[in-house]
Structure 1
Amino acid sequence: MTSRTTFVAQEGPANALALNRDNGQVVIAGRNVFKIFTLHEDRFEETINLRVGKNLNLNFSCNDVAWNLIDDHILATAATNGAVVLWNLNKASRSKQEHVFGDHKRTVNKVSFHITEPMWLISGSQDGTMKCFDLRISEAAKTFYSNTESVRDVQFSPHQPHTFAAVSENGHVQQWDLRRPDRYFQHFAAHSGPIFACDWHPEANWLATASRDKTIKVWDLSTKPACEYTIHTIASVGRIKWRPQRKFHIASCALVVDCSINVWDIRRPYIPFASFNEHRDVATGIAWRGDPQSFLSTSRDCTLYHHVFKDATRPASKANPQGVALNPKGDIAYACKVNVNAPTAIKQLTNIMRKTPASNDTFCLASSVMHRFTINAPREPKWFKACAEGYMLNGRLNDICDHNAIVASKAGRNDVSTVWYIIKTLYANPLGNILKTPPTVMKEDVVNTINLTQITLGNALDQSNSVHETDVKSIQGEAPGIISGGDDETETDETPDNPNFIGPILPRHFSERVYRRSFPGHKRQQKGDFLFGEGELEPVNMEITSGFIDNMINNDNDWTLPKEAFPLRHEIQDRSPPPEQFPNHSPDINDDSVSVMVEDQPCQLIVNSVPKPSFWDPTHLVEKALKHHAALRDIQTTASILIALGDRRKSLNIEITIQEHWLLEYIDMLGRFRLWEVATQIIQLAWIPSVSQLNQQSTTIHACCTNCTKPLQRAAWLCDRCHTAKHALCSICHQVVRGVYSWCQGCTHGGHVVHMSEWFSSNRQCPTGCGHLCEFT
Structure 2
Amino acid sequence: MTGTFYTTQEGPANALALNKDYSQVVIAGRNVFKVFNIKDDEFIEHCNLRVGKNLNLNFSCNDVAWNTIDDTVLATAATNGAVVVWNLNKQGRSKQDHVFNDHTRTVNKVNFHITEASLLISGSQDGTMKCFDLRIKEVVKTFLSNTESVRDVQFSPHNSHIFAAVSENGNVQLWDIRKPDRCVQAYTAHSGPIFACDWHPEMSWLATASRDKTIKVWDLSGNKPTLEHTIHTIASVGHVKWRPQRRYHLASCALVVDCSINVWDIRRPYIPFASFDEHKDVATGVAWKGDPHCFLSTSRDNTLYRHMFSDARRPATKANIQGISLNNKGDIIYACKTNTASILVNNKISGLIRKPSINSDNFHDASSSLHNFTNNKSVPNAFYKCATQYILQGKSLTEMCDHNANVAKSLGKNHVYVVWNIIKILYGNDVNTKINIHEDTLSNTNQNRGGLASNVDQLSTTYENVSIKDTDTPGGACSDDTENEENDGNYLSGLTNLTSYQPGALAPRGDFIFGENELDNEFDRMSSGIGLRVIPVQTNETQDWTLPTEAFPLRHELQDRSPPPEQFPNHISPEINDIQSAVAVEDQPSSLLSVTSIPKLLPWNPTPIIVESLKYHALISDVQTSVSILLVLGDYRPNYNVLDKATQEQWILGYLDQLARYRLWNIATEIIKLSWIPNINQLNQQSTTIHTCCGKCGKPLQRSGWLCDRCHITDTALCGVCHQVVKGLYVWCQGCSHGGHLKHVKQWITKNKYCPTGCGHACEYS
- Fold in common (TM above 0.5): yes
Look up the equivalent residue of 1:312 and give its one-letter code: A
Deviates more, 1:71-80 or 1:224-233: 224-233
What pairs with 1:607-686 in structure 2 (closer than 5 Å)?
614-649=602-637, 653-667=642-656, 669-670=658-659, 672-673=661-662, 682=671, 685-686=674-675
Partner residue, 2:299: 299
- Distance change (3 Å), C-alpha of 1:450 and 1:307: farther
Alignment pair present for 1:322 and 2:311: no
Deviates more, 1:613-622 or 1:691-700: 691-700
Alignment pair present for 1:558 and 2:606: no
Partner residue, 1:584: none
- Rounded to whole Å, the distance in 2 between the matches of 1:473 and 1:155 is 96
1:97 shift after superposition:
2.1
- Rounded to whole Å, the distance in 2 between the matches of 1:374 and 1:302 is 56
Alignment pair present for 1:287 and 2:304: no
Deviation per residue, 1:619-666 (Å, 9 max, x gap): 322232222222223223323333333433366622344334444544
Deviation per residue, 1:416-467 (Å, 9 max, x gap): 2322333344445776689999x9997424246899xxxxxxxxxxxxxxx9
Are the equivalent residues in 1 in contact too, given 2:148–2:700 (CA < 8 A)? Answer: no
Partner residue, 1:522: none
1:138 shift after superposition:
4.3
- Distance change (3 Å), C-alpha of 1:766 and 1:230: farther
- Give the secondary-structure state (helix, strand or coil) at the position aligned to 2:12: coil
- Rounded to whole Å, the distance in 1 between the matches of 2:196 and 2:742 is 35
- Rounded to whole Å, the distance in 1 between the matches of 2:687 and 2:287 is 45
- Rounded to whole Å, the distance in 2 between the matches of 1:37 and 1:753 is 61
1:28 shift after superposition:
0.9
- Give the secondary-structure state (helix, strand or coil) at the position aligned to 1:363: coil
Aligned-pair identity in percent equals: 55
- Rounded to whole Å, the distance in 2 between the matches of 1:331 and 1:765 is 47
1:727 shift after superposition:
9.9
Are the equivalent residues in 2 in contact too, given 1:629–1:637 (CA < 8 A)? Answer: yes
1:298 shift after superposition:
0.8
Gapped runs of 5+ residues in structure 2? 438-450, 469-514, 528-539, 548-561
Are the equivalent residues in 1 in contact too, given 2:198–2:240 (CA < 8 A)? Answer: yes
Alignment pair present for 1:446 and 2:463: yes
- Distance change (3 Å), C-alpha of 1:320 and 1:648: closer
Larger Rg: 1
What pairs with 1:247-286 in structure 2 (closer than 5 Å)?
247-286=247-286
Are the equivalent residues in 2 in contact too, given 1:112–1:154 (CA < 8 A)? Answer: yes
Are the equivalent residues in 2 in contact too, given 1:109–1:124 (CA < 8 A)? Answer: yes
Are the equivalent residues in 1 in contact too, given 2:717–2:726 (CA < 8 A)? Answer: no
- Rounded to whole Å, the distance in 1 between the matches of 2:210 and 2:686 is 28
- Rounded to whole Å, the distance in 2 between the matches of 1:436 and 1:291 is 85
Alignment pair present for 1:473 and 2:521: yes
What pairs with 1:89-488 in structure 2 (closer than 5 Å)?
89-224=88-223, 225-326=225-326, 332-339=332-339, 342-345=342-345, 354-375=354-375, 380-382=380-382, 385-386=385-386, 389-391=389-391, 393=393, 397-427=397-427, 443-447=460-464, 469=517, 472-477=520-525
1:198 shift after superposition:
1.5
Are the equivalent residues in 2 in contact too, given 1:172–1:188 (CA < 8 A)? Answer: yes
Deviation per residue, 1:289-332 (Å, 9 max, x gap): 11222111111111111111222223334433333345566554
Partner residue, 1:543: 577
Are the equivalent residues in 1 in contact too, given 2:706–2:716 (CA < 8 A)? Answer: no
Look up the equivalent residue of 2:629 and give its one-letter code: I
- Rounded to whole Å, the distance in 2 between the matches of 1:412 and 1:435 is 28
Deviates more, 1:644-653 or 1:303-312: 644-653
- Rounded to whole Å, the distance in 2 between the matches of 1:634 and 1:7 is 57
- Give the secondary-structure state (helix, strand or coil) at the position aligned to 1:310: helix
Are the equivalent residues in 2 in contact too, given 1:383–1:412 (CA < 8 A)? Answer: no
1:257 shift after superposition:
1.8
Are the equivalent residues in 1 in contact too, given 2:143–2:180 (CA < 8 A)? Answer: yes
Deviates more, 1:296-305 or 1:416-425: 416-425
Partner residue, 1:60: 59
Deviation per residue, 1:725-761 (Å, 9 max, x gap): 999568xx9999999777776898999769969999x
Deviates more, 1:469-478 or 1:236-245: 469-478
Aligned-residue Cα RMSD (Å) equals 5.1
Look up the equivalent residue of 1:358 and give its one-letter code: I
1:157 shift after superposition:
2.3
Q: Provide the TM-score with structure 1 as the length reference.
A: 0.71
Partner residue, 1:597: none
- Distance change (3 Å), C-alpha of 1:422 and 1:191: closer
- Rounded to whole Å, the distance in 2 between the matches of 1:474 and 1:340 is 87
Are the equivalent residues in 2 in contact too, given 1:7–1:43 (CA < 8 A)? Answer: yes
1:710 shift after superposition:
6.2
- Rounded to whole Å, the distance in 1 between the matches of 2:395 and 2:679 is 23
Are the equivalent residues in 1 in contact too, given 2:76–2:85 (CA < 8 A)? Answer: yes
Are the equivalent residues in 2 in contact too, given 1:353–1:365 (CA < 8 A)? Answer: no
Are the equivalent residues in 2 in contact too, given 1:192–1:746 (CA < 8 A)? Answer: no
- Give the secondary-structure state (helix, strand or coil) at the position aligned to 2:316: coil
- Distance change (3 Å), C-alpha of 1:124 and 1:378: same
- Give the secondary-structure state (helix, strand or coil) at the position aligned to 2:315: coil
- Rounded to whole Å, the distance in 1 between the matches of 2:108 and 2:675 is 49
1:210 shift after superposition:
1.6
- Rounded to whole Å, the distance in 2 between the matches of 1:740 and 1:17 is 47
- Distance change (3 Å), C-alpha of 1:27 and 1:137: same
Partner residue, 1:585: none
- Give the secondary-structure state (helix, strand or coil) at the position aligned to 2:603: coil
- Rounded to whole Å, the distance in 1 between the matches of 2:173 and 2:301 is 34
- Rounded to whole Å, the distance in 1 between the matches of 2:302 and 2:417 is 68
Are the equivalent residues in 1 in contact too, given 2:196–2:239 (CA < 8 A)? Answer: yes
1:469 shift after superposition:
4.8
- Rounded to whole Å, the distance in 2 between the matches of 1:362 and 1:13 is 35
- Rounded to whole Å, the distance in 1 between the matches of 2:745 and 2:149 is 35
Look up the equivalent residue of 2:86 and give its one-letter code: W
- Give the secondary-structure state (helix, strand or coil) at the position aligned to 2:342: coil
Are the equivalent residues in 2 in contact too, given 1:712–1:720 (CA < 8 A)? Answer: no
Are the equivalent residues in 2 in contact too, given 1:477–1:610 (CA < 8 A)? Answer: no
Partner residue, 2:447: none
More contact order relative to length (CA 8 Å, sep ≥ 6): 1
- Give the secondary-structure state (helix, strand or coil) at the position aligned to 1:620: helix
- Rounded to whole Å, the distance in 2 between the matches of 1:184 and 1:53 is 42
- Rounded to whole Å, the distance in 1 between the matches of 2:167 and 2:109 is 11
- Give the secondary-structure state (helix, strand or coil) at the position aligned to 2:610: helix
- Rounded to whole Å, the distance in 1 between the matches of 2:329 and 2:748 is 29
- Rounded to whole Å, the distance in 1 between the matches of 2:44 and 2:82 is 29
- Distance change (3 Å), C-alpha of 1:209 and 1:501: farther
- Rounded to whole Å, the distance in 2 between the matches of 1:340 and 1:222 is 41
Are the equivalent residues in 2 in contact too, given 1:17–1:27 (CA < 8 A)? Answer: yes
1:380 shift after superposition:
3.1
1:5 shift after superposition:
0.9
Deviates more, 1:68-77 or 1:349-358: 349-358
Partner residue, 2:533: none
- Give the secondary-structure state (helix, strand or coil) at the position aligned to 1:543: helix
Look up the equivalent residue of 2:298 and give its one-letter code: T
- Distance change (3 Å), C-alpha of 1:244 and 1:398: closer
- Give the secondary-structure state (helix, strand or coil) at the position aligned to 1:298: strand
- Rounded to whole Å, the distance in 2 between the matches of 1:294 and 1:253 is 16
1:690 shift after superposition:
4.9
- Distance change (3 Å), C-alpha of 1:165 and 1:356: same
Partner residue, 1:591: none
1:541 shift after superposition:
9.6
- Distance change (3 Å), C-alpha of 1:352 and 1:314: farther
- Distance change (3 Å), C-alpha of 1:382 and 1:342: same
1:766 shift after superposition:
12
1:89 shift after superposition:
1.9
